Structure 1
Amino acid sequence: MDELKLVVASPFKKKATSSLSIKDFEFALSFDLKWMAPDLASKVRDKAISSRLLRLEGDRLIPSFAVDKIEIPHGFRPSGNVFAEKSPIEELITMISAKSGKSEKETIAGINTLQERFGDLVDIEIAALILAKEKGCDIEGIYQKVYDKFMDND
């Protein structure tokens, strides 16, 4: 299970709700759960939105996955890894998984299958972009990162 998804699900499970205000989400991470300082809670919120685990509707945060299906392990506390930047492929896998409702393992298999269909003539990130687009993901934010990665290799 993706650690960020566990962190994002926790405030919703704790409050038994399907949406939270930004303030309530950050307050839950900082003060209710005592996991992080408020500025880090804001970073987690931004990362969850950019990873498509949360969407912002008005002033409400809404998970893009079934929170009730998430099991938070007893004694769970996020590691420092939750604040680390994800690579473009990791972001795409998270995005596709959230949109399709499939596990990350199933998503990776789908990306690999698509790459094989192209005879391995495209890089894994390109196959992931194509699959994300096919699944209806908003790839605008990640497209530039993938583009930059390949332009830097020239």
Structure 2
Amino acid sequence: MDEELKMVVATPFKKKAATSLSIKDFEFTLSFDLKWMAPPLASKVRDKAIASGLLRFEGNKLVPSFETAQVEIPTGFKPSPGLLAERTVLEELISMISIMSGKNEKEAIAIINNRQEQLGDLIDIEIAGLIAAKDAGCDTAAVYEKIHAKFFHAQST
């Protein structure tokens, strides 16, 4: 899934031969140039890419956090319908850690498991993932809210 999102994110930059794009240009390319999705879905792709660390803002421009030239886009590639499927909080954390650390998902899972073991297995795996993501330098604000809601709600019921 992350590789697919990376290919989708890289394509507008490769197509425009640019290192930064305005939000409008990024979404326009996905929607109208490539005809991959409706504009509201292009906005969701942008938001998902920002949340997962594949895109960031520099001023008012979107900039990929990876080398788009190193991403191979297969001939005839189109994103799958499941690209925007909701992921669990743990899956989001694994993805964040993987992107920020340059490690694959199995290694990111090992990092989370090690963090949980270091804390004596006294915390839930999502909390260990949150700590590991912060240690890796990830922006965990959106995921933090989901974890907080899950555990706060669980304690009040």
In the superposition, the TM-score normalised over structure 2's length comes to 0.87
- What is the CA deviation profile of residues 111-147 of structure 1, one whole-angstrom value per residue up to 9, with x for unaligned ones? 1222222232222211111111111212222111011
Q: For structure 2, which runs of at least 5 residues remain unmatched after alignment?
A: none
**Residue 108 of structure 1 corresponds to which residue in structure 2?**
109
- What is the CA deviation profile of residues 45-97 of structure 1, one whole-angstrom value per residue up to 9, with x for unaligned ones? 11211222111122210112232222223322111211222221122122222
CA distance in 1, matches of 2:62, 2:45: 12
Q: For structure 1, which runs of at least 5 residues remain unmatched after alignment?
A: none
Q: Partner amino acid for 1:137?
A: C
CA distance in 2, matches of 1:74, 1:14: 13
Q: CA RMSD in A?
A: 1.7
Q: CA deviation at 1:98?
A: 2.0
| Count of residues in correspondence between the two structures | 154
Q: Partner amino acid for 2:75?
A: H
Q: Partner amino acid for 1:51?
A: S
CA distance in 1, matches of 2:14, 2:24: 16
CA distance in 2, matches of 1:33, 1:50: 23
1:32-47 to structure 2, matched below 5 A, reads: 32-47=33-48
CA separation of 1:73 and 1:113: change in aligned 2, threshold 3 A:
farther
Q: CA deviation at 1:149?
A: 1.4
Q: CA deviation at 1:30?
A: 0.9
Q: CA deviation at 1:15?
A: 2.1
CA distance in 1, matches of 2:72, 2:125: 30
Q: Secondary structure at the match of 1:78?
A: coil
The answer (yes or no) to whether the contact 1:13–1:67 under 8 Å persists in 2 is: yes
Percent sequence identity is 65
Q: Which moved more, 1:66-75 or 1:106-115?
A: 66-75
CA distance in 1, matches of 2:60, 2:36: 23
- What is the CA deviation profile of residues 20-40 of structure 1, one whole-angstrom value per residue up to 9, with x for unaligned ones? 111111111012211001121
2:116 equivalent to 1:125: no
CA distance in 2, matches of 1:13, 1:97: 23
CA distance in 1, matches of 2:24, 2:79: 20
In the superposition, the TM-score normalised over structure 1's length comes to 0.89
CA distance in 2, matches of 1:69, 1:112: 30
Q: Partner amino acid for 1:70?
A: V
